[in-house]
Structure 1
Amino acid sequence: MTDDRSVAAARAQTQADFAANLASVRSRIAKAEAAAGRQLGSVRLLPVTKTVPSQRLRLAIAAGIDWLGENKVQEAAQKSEELADIPGLKYSVIGHLQTNKAKHVARFAHEFQALDNLRQAEALQRRLEVEDRVLDVFVQINTSGEESKFGLPPQQAAGVATQLPAFDRLNVKGLMTLAIFSTDQAAVRRCFQTLRAVREVVRDKDERIVELSMGMSGDFELAIEEGATVVRVGQGIFGARALPDSHYWPGFAN
C-alpha cells in the first residue's frame, strides 16, 4: 500500500482534467477486475468529494461522475441544495453519523455507508418514515481493531445483522471498512479479507448483505483482488485535498 497522498492525481481544474483523471481511475479499476478474474464493471466507483466545493464539482459532474461521497452531513446537505439543478446525482454519506443528524441524511442521501449501531438504525428508520423514503445502507466493520476507527467489531456483526430486517426503511446492501493506514500490504490485505469473511457469516442472518465497500486511492486494486464491489476514490480524481471550503456550515459539525 502507498500513502494516499502519493497517489493523488494532478489537481483537476477543468472538465478535461477531470475526464482524464476519471479515465485513469476507471482504467485501473478495469485492469484490477481483469487481474482478479472479475467481470468488467463489477466494481462501482464512488468519488469521495469531501472538501471539494460545488463549483469544482460541476466540472467533475460534467466529466462523468454521478455519485458524491461525503464524510460530513452538513457539507453533503449543502451541496445537495447547491447542485439541486443537476438531475440524477446521488449522495452517499460515508462518515460517522450522530443520531441527531439522521433527519438530514433521511432527507437527501441515497446511501449511508457507516451504520455501526442500532440507535442509528432506529433514528434513521423514524426519519425515513417521516420523509417516506428508503435508504441504501452498508454496515461499517472495524477490521483493523484500531480504537480511532468507528465500526462494529467483526464478532458483533452477526448479532446486529439479525436485527436489521426489522427496519424496513433501511435497504441493507453490504459491509464497509477502512483498512489500516500502513505501507504493510499484508496488514491491509488482512483487513479486506476480514470484511469478506464477515460477509459470509452475516449473509446467513440477512441475505441482502452482498456488497463490500473497501479500498481507496492508495489500495483499491488490492481491495478489488479481495472482492470489493465499491471503491471510494478521492485524490485519484480530484488531486491533493485542500482545506475544507470555508462557506460550509462551521457550527454544524458531524
Structure 2
Amino acid sequence: MLKENLEEVEEKIAKACERAGRAREEVTLIAVSKTKPVEMLQEIYDEGIRDFGENKVQELTEKYEVMPKDMKWHMIGHLQRNKVKYIVDKVTLIHSVDSLRLAETISREAEKKGVTVPILIEVNIAGEETKFGLSSKEEVISLSEQIAALPNLSVKGLMTVAPPAKDPEENRPFFREIRQLSVDITNKNIDNVSMEILSMGMTNDYTVAIEEGATMVRVGTGIFGARDYSKK
C-alpha cells in the first residue's frame, strides 16, 4: 500500500517537473511522518526515501534514535526555543524559523554542539491568523539580514504552508509570491543568506508548488495515509 502511494507521488512529481521544464533532481520529496510508527517509516526508507519531516521535537528525537543514521530529518513544525537543544545536532534542516529570538537560540545551541544548522525562514504568505511565520516581505528581508550575522547558522531559503484549498490552483499565486520573494532576497546579496531552497507544497498542492519553483515538497497523507492522532 505505502509503496503504491509513494510510486504515485513520485510519478506526479516527475510529471510536474516535466511540465515546468525542470529536472526531477531539482525537487526533494520529504516524507512527512508525524504520528506514524517507525515500521511505516522503515517501509518508505526501504523504497529509497531518506528525507523525513517531523512536527514535534520529542517524536523526531525518539525516531532518530531507532532509525537508520543516514536518514535526513527535517523539523517542519513550530519550534519552541526551550526544545532547540534537543535537535540542533540531529536535523538536516529547520524549516520553521519565524523570529530572531528563535534564530539566536538555534545559533547558541549549535555553537555549544559545534555544528552549523541550515534553516529556512517561515513565511505566512496568506497572513492567516492561525499560522506561524512572517507575513510581510519587509519582515522577511529584515529577519534575513538580522539572522545573517549569527554564528553557526545558515539561511538556505524560505518555507510556507499555503492555506487549505479545495482547488490547488487557488494556491498558485501564493507559491509564485514566495518564489518572487526569494529572488528579491537573492538580489540583495546578503552574506550567509542563500535562497537555494523553497519548501512549499503539501499533499493537496505539491504539483502546483513544483510548477512554481518548489525545491522541497512535504508530503504526508499522500504517502502514509490519514494521520492517527489517537496515539498522541
TM-score range, shorter chain: over 0.9
Which residue of structure 1 lines up, in the alignment, with residue 150 of structure 2? 167
Which residue of structure 2 lines up, in the alignment, with residue 47 of structure 1? 31
- RMSD, aligned α-carbons: 1.5
| 2:21 paired with 1:37 | yes
Counterpart of 2:228 (choices 229, 232, 242) is 242
**Please, what TM-score do these two structures have when normalized by structure 2?**
0.93
**1:143 partner amino acid:** I
- Aligned ranges 1:1-254 → 2 under 5 Å: 17-83=1-67, 86-155=68-137, 156-203=139-186, 204-206=188-190, 207-243=193-229, 245-246=231-232
User: What is the percent sequence identity of the aligned residues?
Assistant: 39
**Please, what TM-score do these two structures have when normalized by structure 1?**
0.85
**Counterpart Cα distance in 1 of 2:230 and 2:21:** 39
Classify the secondary structure of the residue corresponding to 1:191: helix
Over 3 Å counting, the alpha-carbon distance change for 1:55 and 1:39 in structure 2 is closer
Q: Which runs of 5+ in 1 are unaligned?
A: 1-16, 247-254
**Structure having greater relative contact order (Cα 8 Å, sep ≥ 6):** 1
**1:216 partner amino acid:** M
How many corresponding residue pairs?
A: 228
**1:49 partner amino acid:** S
Classify the secondary structure of the residue corresponding to 1:46: strand
Aligned-pair distance for 1:106? 1.0
**Counterpart Cα distance in 2 of 1:244 and 1:44:** 30
Contact 1:25 1:237 in 2 (8 A): yes
**Superposed structure 1 runs of 4+ greater than 3 Å apart:** 184-187
Aligned-pair distance for 1:134? 1.5
